[in-house]
Structure 1
Amino acid sequence: MSSLPQSYTKDCYLNVQAMRAIAALLVVLGHTLALGGMELPRYLGGGLVHTFAYAGVDIFFVISGFVICAAASKHLASTSNSNGLQRATAFLLRRVFRIYPLYWVLLLAAFCLAYFHNPGLLALPRELIVSLFLLTERNNPVLSPAWSLVFEMYFYLCTAFILLLSRSRWLLLMAVWFGLSCGLIFSAKSLGLEGRLYTDPLLLEFGFGCLIFFAISRNYVLAPMLASVTLLLGAVFFFWGAQQTLHQGLLPPMPRVQSFGVGSALLLYALICLEHQAQLTMPRLLIALGTISYSIYLVHRPLIDLGLILVARYQIQVQAYPVLLSSLMMAIVIAASAVLYRYLERPMISIGSRLARRCE
């Protein structure tokens, strides 16, 4: 079993945490502008800013691949006397308590808001409502950002199955999973499997994160100059995807992976290498916000919907104040997320960890 370099044994990936914050804030800003019908002044990016909202999810997926591999490595180190079923169960318990409690609370809040904002959602078929609560339905009309959680849970299940099968060769099996996923994705059309979750190209982004973990765990750390070039190259891919989105609309999955996905992977790898070499650590504020990034990502949509209800009621001309209103929404989302993390997300994570330790 591989282990992370010595500087990472604290489970403290500062630049990764900062990237989480950036991803979440990109989504919040993009959705605030788009749903409010606003556009920032040209000197602040103008319409290009909207396109980066989509890229926040690509960053999250690459980060998930890296972080889950790191978590699996740590998990295996602490469960040397456990059998496969115990390992997989404990791993899944931590993931379930990390994802579901906050999601369920905000899904219910979104249903309540629908009474004022979109009453048609209250008449959804029972089967669809159940699938939304279980995170098996990608098209989420109630809490739209949660579509990405379906991919997350699929990746967690695949990882748990690998941990069930083997302790010593789990990284090899992760590589096999990635290879099989690539095969299914690139042959989906000929096999008649288009549109399935397991043939969606966005899964490649989790694989990118796994590859980054493999490189770091084997101490393949780029020299500072090469890492800086990689960082710049990642930004180029990112802006390429942004320009495509600006002119074409939301990109199909494969072009999205080729631009935002590759860009996210290059940025993440470079930032981890620069931190490892003590060359660059992101600002403390971003690192702190990374801790509450999951709450930011989920709570922002109900808060935006609530804001739109108030805007309509008081007939506020939001287009006249895009910077002020988007800044205000960002501050409200961050404050609400901090409260949710303190009183809901963190306690649920602790409960999941305690239950997992009983299974180990």
Structure 2
Amino acid sequence: MSLARSSPSVENRTGVHRLGWLDALRGIGALAVVGEHLFTWAMPWLRPTQINLGMSGVLVFFLVSGYIIPTSLERGGDVRAFWIGRFFRLYPLYLAVIVLVLALSPWIPVRPEVPRDPYAVAAHATMLLDVVGVGGVLNTMWTLSYEMAFYLMVAALFVTGAHAGRAARRGLVAVLFGLAAIVAGMTLSAAPLSGAGPAWVALVVFAAGLGCVFAGRLRTLASCALGVMALALLVLSSRVPWFGLAMLAVMFTGTAIHRWERGSGTLRPVALTLLLVALAPVWAISAGWWWVRPDVWIGTVALAAATFAAGLALRGRRIPRPLAWLGVVSYSLYLVHLPILLVMIHILGERRWSPLPHQLATGAVFLLVLLPVVGLTHRLVELPMQRLGRRLARRV
């Protein structure tokens, strides 16, 4: 098997150096999510019930984001360039997938969780879907809500200098979010705010705040307003407030791990935060779905933590090139796999009770279609837009 260098970094096709072990973790996380959906439909005998495989993959993604995003912002030193890069990294494929799902809607109806109302458009425009209590046109899009909330908060910490303060260096931000998840779970049975209001408020503040950042006016004030908005929405309007706070705790845990690796922090806040996240649903009022049962949830969190720890421990090793490639295309893999799966379900119907050879053939066909498609979407959509974003960022 051919290998790609992972220490200290590998170079992708764009010529940008990347940490190979983080690519490997992204690839593993994406495969876990794909596996969860494929196994549920076609191979239930492969789907574990003691953990939520897909959720463990999402948590790995969040740890990776927490590890790398604040560092990229600090290294660049420019919040406007950071946001240009994020927009051209996330939005082109995101919008393309939304268009695809809507184009397929005459045959494959859009999820009923998506309100048939203009405020659903507002929620999709900001990506703050789950954070404002709105379902996405794909059920995988909920994770982007917390990624966006994290970006907004990290940018606010950066412009105020709080990212370099003692609390940030010691990982206390992660611990505070973990404690907030516990408290929210014990006190809130549902989000205090619902309906169209949060989505419209988020859109107005999002557009005005980022408009100021891009224009170079009132950047600090605008970034702080965006960060405060994200935090307020997490508590007041996210679908399950304790869960949203726990997701931010996981991402800031990734940041704390990076601080520790650089010698400016310890692992104590990491361990404490992961413990708080693992225990959050134990006393939560709103924790009725199967994979937040304490035994399942704790196992899921433990698997994600162990996966990230293994990647961190092996960061000086050579990474198999296919795994590194899966990490490079992980965003395409994450967003594109579900529309392909929905089309196959529409054509083939239920496969859970099909003979084993049929199930295996279905899985093989799915992967044979999926992998070339994500390679194309990465090459034709993601890479050109990322290059454009970098060119624009260099001009600011």
TM-score (norm 2): 0.69
User: Counterpart amino acid of 2:35?
Assistant: L
2:22 aligned partner, one-letter code:
V
**Structure 2: runs of 5 or more not aligned:** 1-6, 11-16, 192-232, 236-241, 268-273, 279-287
Answer whether contact 1:88 1:164 (CA < 8 A) is retained. Answer: yes
Answering whether residue 162 of structure 2 is matched by residue 127 of structure 1, we say: no
Distance 2:297 2:79 in 1: 29
Deviation readout 1:298-333 (Å, 9 max, x if unpaired): 001111111122214xx9897221222112212211
Cα shift readout 1:63-98 (whole Å, capped 9, x = no counterpart): 11112133224223xxxxxxxxxx222212211211
Aligned residue pairs total 312
- Alignment root-mean-square deviation, CA: 3.5
What are the Cα deviations for residues 206-264 of structure 1, in whole angstroms up to 9, with x where unaligned?
A: 02211221122229999xxxxxxxxxxx9xxx9xxxxxxxxx96423987764333432
1:141-160 aligned at under 5 Å gives the runs 141-160=136-155
Give 1:289's aligned residue: 326
Structure 1 spans left out of the alignment, 5+ residues: 1-6, 77-86, 223-233, 239-247
Name the counterpart of 1:84. none
**Counterpart of 1:215?**
260
Do structure 1's residue 20 and structure 2's residue 31 form an aligned pair?
no
Whole-angstrom CA distance in 1 between matches of 2:353 and 2:33: 19
8 Å contact from structure 1 (residues 295, 340) kept in 2: yes
Q: In structure 1, how many angstroms separate the alpha carbons of the residues matched to 2:115 and 2:186?
A: 38
TM-score, with length taken from structure 1 = 0.75
User: Residue 64 and residue 152 in structure 1: after superposition, are their counterparts in 2 closer, same or farther (change >3 A)?
Assistant: same
Deviations 1:151-199 (A, max 9, x none): 0000011111112112882685474543442342232256658546255
Aligned with residue 140 of structure 1, among 132, 135, 141: 135
The within-5 A match list for 1:137-216 is 137-138=129-130, 139-166=134-161, 169=164, 172-173=167-168, 175=171, 177-189=173-185, 192=188, 195=191, 197-198=234-235, 199=242, 200=244, 201-216=246-261
Determine the C-alpha separation between the residues in 2 that align with 1:46 and 1:297.
Answer: 18
More deviation in 209-218 or 179-188?
179-188
Q: Flag the 1:46–1:153 CA change in 2: closer, same or farther, 3 A.
A: closer
CA distance in 1, matches of 2:42, 2:180: 39
Q: Name which of 354, 359, 367 aligns with 1:319.
A: 354
* Amino acid paired to 2:336: V
- Residue of structure 2 in register with 1:82 after alignment: none
Q: Provide closer, same or farther for how the CA distance between residues 286 and 170 of structure 1 changes in structure 2, counting only shifts above 3 A.
A: farther
CA distance in 2, matches of 1:219, 1:168: 12
Contact persistence 2:89–2:385 (CA under 8 A) = yes
Residue pair 1:29, 1:330 contacting (<8 A) in 2 also:
no
Identity %: 23
| 8 Å Cα contact 1:30/1:49 also seen in 2 | no
Write the distance in 2 (CA, Å) between the matches of 1:173 and 1:156. 15
Tell me: CA distance 1:304–1:171, structure 2 relative to 1, closer, same or farther (3 Å): farther
- Is the Cα contact below 8 Å between 1:181 and 1:203 reproduced in 2? yes
Instruction: Tell me, yes or no, if structure 1 residue 91 matches structure 2 residue 82.
Output: yes
